[in-house]
Structures are given as structure tokens and as C-alpha cells.
Amino acid sequence: MLLSSLWKVKLTQYHPILTLGRNTVVMKKITFSADENKIELAREVARSEHKTLNDAFRDWLNWYGSRKVSRVEIAALFEKLKYADAGRRFTRDEMNER
């Protein structure tokens, strides 16, 4: 279950959280609205991973923000799969069969 299906995000204000040497990490505070049962399920999953729900969400946010694929990578994938050939064109009905 993806966290994005659990929460609606409302952005609020910035809060400095951590300073390491000269680097300060600035975190934006957000408020979620979600089904209480889903929040508790997510909290249990995070607890089983020895994390807080905030830590689990930050991990998900890092993953979600980093999954962008470049045009070059897509072009390379198409080139790599160029060998695949079904041998004919499919009709619209055939392509939509489930």
C-alpha cells in the first residue's frame, strides 16, 4: 500500500530541524488528513521497521521524489527492447482484452 493513497497533504510553514557543521536541514511542516484506521496501520508498519511514522514518510518521500526517469533513459530502454516483435499489428479490441 502506497503512502500517497493514505494522506492528503496540506503544506504549512518551515521549521529548521537539524544543523550539522555548516549545513542546516530545513524541514517543511505538513499536516495530513486520513482515515484513522489507515494511519494506525501505517504506524504499525513503521513500528515493525523500528521507525516512526514521520521517518517512514520521509523515506517514502525520498523514494517518490527520486523516481523521475529522464528521456535519455526511456530512449535507451526503447532501444534495448527494439528486438521485441509480435509479428503483426493487433486490433483495438485485442489490445483492450483483459
Top-confidence residue, 8 or 72: 72
26 and 14 in contact (C-beta within 8 Å)?
A: yes
Q: What is the pLDDT of residues 9-63, one digit of tens each?
A: 444 455 555 666 677 777 777 888 899 999 999 999 999 999 999 999 989 988 8
For position 52, what pLDDT does the model report? 93
Secondary structure class of 39 (helix, strand, coil): helix
AA letter at 28: K
Beta-carbon contacts of residue 26 (< 8 Å; ≥ 6 apart): 14, 15, 16, 17
Q: Is 2's pLDDT higher than 90? A: no
Cβ atoms < 10 Å from Cβ of 57: 20
For position 42, what pLDDT does the model report? 95
For position 18, what pLDDT does the model report? 61
Q: Is 84's pLDDT higher than 80? A: yes
Cell 509480435, residue located: 86
